[in-house]
Structure 1
Amino acid sequence: MVSAYLMIKTAAGRSADLLTAIEEQEGVHEAHIVAGQYDIIAEVGGENVYDVVHAASTDVRDLEGVVDTRTYICLD
């Protein structure tokens, strides 16, 4: 199992709506609205690195209102 944290920056006023959409994406274990440089942090997982990258770069990144993402793959 590969795990990663996905930092998500949203368009103004879109965090609450996007939180629900992100939580429904395959591979997302949990997500939270946070204060700071990014608006949402999500924990994602999959059988291999490809699954995690796909969840981050395609599934979440393609949601309308997502402005930027950063993916941090866990090494332990």
Structure 2
Amino acid sequence: MIVAYMLIKARHGKLKICEASLRAHEEIDEIHEVFGDRDIIAKIIVEDLAELKEFIQNKIQITEGIKETQTLICNDTNAFD
């Protein structure tokens, strides 16, 4: 299983459209609206790197409202109780 976080910059005035489009993808586990250089952080869960690549190229890059993305692939997870 691959867990990744995508930092997303929405086009001006398209934040809500962008969020709605992202919610439709089963690969996206969480969406957070944030302050700063990016507008959204999305948690992505897929089976492998090939699926992540396909998801980004065939679904995210054509999503309405997205201007720019950066994907961070998790190396290790440390859960807190």
TM-score (norm 2): 0.84
Q: Is the 8 A contact 2:21 2:64 kept in 1?
A: no
Give the root-mean-square deviation of aligned CA atoms.
1.2
Q: Where in structure 2 are the equivalents of 1:8-27 lying within 5 Å?
A: 8-27=8-27
Identity of aligned residues (%): 30
Q: Which runs of 5+ in 2 are unaligned?
A: 77-81
Q: Which amino acid aligns with 1:56?
A: I
Q: Is the 8 A contact 1:4 1:74 kept in 2?
A: yes
Q: Where in structure 2 are the equivalents of 1:1-76 lying within 5 Å?
A: 1-76=1-76
TM-score (norm 1): 0.89
Tell me how far apart the structure 1 counterparts of residues 58 and 71 of structure 2 sit (CA, whole Å): 12
Q: Which amino acid aligns with 2:12?
A: A
SS of the residue aligned with 1:58?
A: helix
Q: Is the 8 A contact 1:14 1:65 kept in 2?
A: yes
- Name the count of aligned residue pairs: 76
Tell me how far apart the structure 2 counterparts of residues 16 and 39 of structure 1 sit (CA, whole Å): 10
Q: Is the 8 A contact 1:7 1:41 kept in 2?
A: yes
Deviations 1:30-71 (A, max 9, x none): 111111111111000111011122222331121122111100
Q: Which runs of 5+ in 1 are unaligned?
A: none
